[in-house]
């Protein structure tokens, strides 16, 4: 089963918790045991799994990514969003999840984040769900 989650980013760079939307799609599929593949088909966005209990973690991650890949560093790309392309490649465009008892198997403090590096934009995450 293939479905998509639509995301409206509001800032140039942000991490949006999409855990609830992913869980909703899994429940709607009726799959109790299997796997889920999340794929971001945008070259300036990404998806990751990390802590969702303390919002400072997201702030710190964006801050440190900005240090590793500054927004303005003499890039040649004409669109002016080379930093977003680099951050997308560093974080990654896909994540795999285990579906167990009808839900994504995540740790107590884990959440699924869509990472926007070139917003605000309307985006989507493709979700491929497979039963065992």
Per residue in 35-50, pLDDT (tens digit) is 999 999 999 999 999 9
CATH number of the domain enclosing 120 = 2.60.120.460
The pLDDT of residue 73: 87
The pLDDT of residue 67: 97
CB 43 within 8 Å of CB 118: no
Per residue in 68-125, pLDDT (tens digit) is 999 988 999 988 899 999 999 999 999 999 999 999 999 999 999 999 999 999 999 9
How many structural domains does the chain have?
Answer: 1
pTM of structure: 0.95
Question: What's the rounded Cα separation, in Å, for the pair 4 and 127?
Answer: 6
Give the pair of three-digit tokens for residue 115: 């990472």
- Identify the CA nearest to 66 among candidates 120, 15, 114: 15
Domain of 14 in residue numbering reads as 2-131
Question: What's the rounded Cα separation, in Å, for the pair 55 and 11?
Answer: 16
């Amino acid at each position: 089963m293939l479905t998509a989650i639509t995301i409206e980013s509001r800032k140039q760079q942000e991490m949006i918790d999409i855990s609830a939307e992913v869980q909703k799609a899994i429940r709607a599929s009726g799959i109790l045991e299997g796997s889920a593949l999340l794929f971001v088909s945008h070259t300036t966005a990404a998806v990751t799994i990390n802590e969702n209990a303390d919002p400072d973690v997201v702030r710190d991650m964006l801050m440190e990514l900005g240090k590793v890949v500054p927004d303005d560093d003499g890039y040649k790309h004409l669109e002016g969003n080379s930093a977003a392309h680099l951050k997308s490649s560093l974080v990654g465009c896909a994540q795999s999840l285990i579906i167990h008892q009808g839900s994504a198997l995540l740790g107590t403090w884990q959440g699924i984040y869509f990472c926007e590096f070139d917003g605000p934009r309307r985006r989507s995450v493709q979700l491929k769900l497979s039963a065992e």
